[in-house]
C-alpha cells in the first residue's frame, strides 16, 4: 500500500520535467520569424507634468458710457458676440426732460425770430422810403442775428443730449465670447461700470512651473497638452522673467485650443531635460506568471530573459518601453517573442 502511494505522488513530476525540456527544445528550434534588434542607448526627453490654464488673449470689459438704469440686457455668459453688437441699453430719464426743455426754448426763440425778421423787413422798407434811419435797421438786423445764434446754440445742446442718449447703448468692444455679466437688468449703473466682459483674440495656455525648472524652459520647445480626450501639441511662446511664489509663468501657443471654458485647467507635459535610456519595442515584451520577458538572441537559439520595464513612450510612432535592468547595449533581441507554452530562461 505504501509503495502504491509513493508511486502516485511522484508520477506527476515526470510529465512536468518532460514538458519543460520539450518547451526549451521547441523554443531553441523555433526559427527567428522577427528581425533581430541590436540594442543601443537612445536619448529621450524628460517631461514634467504641470497644469495650464486656458486664457483669453484679450479680456475687454463692455462698459456703460452713460449713468442710469440698465433697461435691457441681451447677452448671457457663454454667448458669442461680434464687435459693435448691442449688449444692453442704459437710459436716464433726465435726458428726456432736458431734451423737452430745449425743444420748448427753441420754439419760443423761433417765434421771436419770426417776429424780428418781420420787423427787419418792415424797417428796410421804411429805410428805402426815407422814413426811418439806418441805425434803427441795423439794430433790427442785430436782433435777428442774436436770435439765430441762440437757436443754433439750442440745436447744439440738443445734439449733445442726443449723443448722450445714444451712448446708453452698451456695445461689444471686440468679437469673442462673453465671459462674465456682472450687471443685471434693472440695475443702476455708473459711467464706466462694466456690464459684460468679452474674451476675444483667441486663446492661449498659461502655465506655472516651479522655479527649479526655469532654466530648462526654452522659447520654441514643443509642449504636449491633454484636452478633451485628445493630445495636442503646442509651442512655448513666452517665458516671463518675474518669479512669484517660487514659480515661473510661461505662455503656450496652440492651434485649435478649446475656448468653451476660459480658465479651464489642462494637463501639460513640459520638456525639462534629456537623458539616455535603453529602449525596446513594446511588442518584444511578453508577460508570464507576473514577470516580463524578452527573447534574447544567442548562438544556440533564442532564450527568454527576465527584465524590469520602466517608462512607456512613443518613438517615431512606435510604442517603446524603457528597460531598467536585464539587458545591456549590444544585446540582440527579437522584436516579437516566439509563441510557445514554455520558456527557456537565461
pLDDT in tens, 269-311: 888 778 899 999 998 899 988 899 999 888 888 888 999 999 8
The proportion of the chain whose per-residue pLDDT surpasses 90, expressed as a percent, equals 40
Residues with Cβ within 8 Å of 287's Cβ and at least 6 positions away in sequence, in order, are: 293
Please determine, for residue 193, whether its predicted confidence score (pLDDT) is greater than 90. Answer: yes
Q: What is the per-residue pLDDT for 178?
A: 92
CA distances in angstroms from 82 to 87, 166, 171, 176, 224, listed in the order given:
10, 19, 9, 6, 32
pTM over 0.85? The answer is: no
Q: What is the pLDDT of residues 29-72, one digit of tens each?
A: 444 455 788 889 998 888 888 888 888 888 999 999 999 999 99
> How would DSSP label each residue in 55-66?
EEEEEEEEE-SS
Summarize pLDDT for 91-116 with one digit per residue, the tens: 999 999 999 999 999 999 999 999 99
Q: Which residues are within 8 A (CB) of 64 and not within 5 positions of it... i.e. 6 or more apart?
A: 70, 88, 90, 168, 170, 183, 189, 190, 191, 192, 193, 194, 195
CA 342/CA 346 separation, integer angstroms: 13
Instruction: Please tell me the predicted confidence (pLDDT) of residue 346.
Output: 56
| Whether the Cβ atoms of residue 224 and residue 269 lie closer than 8 Å to each other | yes
Question: Which pLDDT score, from 0 to 100, does residue 340 have?
Answer: 55
Residue range 132-139: average pLDDT? 88
Amino acid at each position: 500500500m505504501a509503495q502504491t502511494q509513493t508511486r502516485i505522488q511522484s508520477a506527476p513530476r515526470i510529465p512536468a520535467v518532460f514538458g519543460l525540456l520539450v518547451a526549451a527544445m521547441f523554443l531553441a528550434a523555433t526559427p527567428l520569424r522577427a528581425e533581430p534588434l541590436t540594442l543601443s542607448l537612445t536619448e529621450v526627453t524628460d517631461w514634467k507634468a504641470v497644469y495650464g490654464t486656458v486664457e483669453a488673449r484679450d479680456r475687454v470689459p463692455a462698459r456703460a458710457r452713460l449713468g442710469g438704469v440698465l433697461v435691457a440686457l441681451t447677452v448671457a455668459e457663454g454667448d458669442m458676440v461680434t464687435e459693435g453688437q448691442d449688449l444692453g441699453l442704459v437710459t436716464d430719464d433726465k435726458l428726456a426732460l432736458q431734451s423737452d426743455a430745449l425743444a420748448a426754448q427753441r420754439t419760443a426763440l423761433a417765434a421771436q425770430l419770426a417776429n424780428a425778421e418781420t420787423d427787419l423787413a418792415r424797417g428796410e422798407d421804411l429805410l428805402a422810403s426815407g422814413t426811418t434811419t439806418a441805425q434803427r435797421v441795423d439794430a433790427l438786423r442785430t436782433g435777428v442775428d442774436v436770435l439765430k445764434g441762440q437757436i443754433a446754440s439750442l440745436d447744439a445742446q440738443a445734439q449733445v443730449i442726443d449723443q448722450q442718449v445714444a451712448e446708453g447703448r452698451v456695445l461689444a468692444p471686440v468679437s469673442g465670447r462673453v465671459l462674465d455679466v456682472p450687471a443685471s437688468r434693472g440695475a443702476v449703473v455708473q459711467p464706466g461700470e462694466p456690464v459684460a466682459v468679452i474674451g476675444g483674440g483667441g486663446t492661449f495656455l498659461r502655465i506655472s512651473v516651479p522655479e527649479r525648472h526655469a532654466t530648462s524652459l526654452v522659447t520654441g520647445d514643443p509642449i504636449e497638452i491633454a484636452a478633451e480626450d485628445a493630445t495636442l501639441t503646442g509651442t512655448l511662446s513666452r517665458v516671463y522673467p518675474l518669479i512669484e511664489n517660487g514659480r515661473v509663468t510661461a505662455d503656450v501657443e496652440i492651434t485649435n485650443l478649446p475656448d468653451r471654458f476660459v480658465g479651464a485647467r489642462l494637463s501639460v507635459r513640459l520638456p525639462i531635460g534629456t537623458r539616455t535610456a535603453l529602449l525596446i519595442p513594446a511588442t518584444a515584451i511578453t508577460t508570464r506568471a507576473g514577470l516580463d520577458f524578452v527573447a534574447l538572441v544567442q548562438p544556440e537559439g533564442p532564450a527568454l530573459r527576465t527584465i524590469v520595464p520602466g517608462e512607456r513612450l512613443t518613438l517615431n510612432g512606435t510604442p517603446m518601453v524603457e528597460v531598467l535592468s536585464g539587458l545591456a547595449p549590444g544585446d540582440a533581441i527579437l522584436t516579437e517573442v516566439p509563441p510557445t507554452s514554455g520558456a527557456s530562461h537565461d
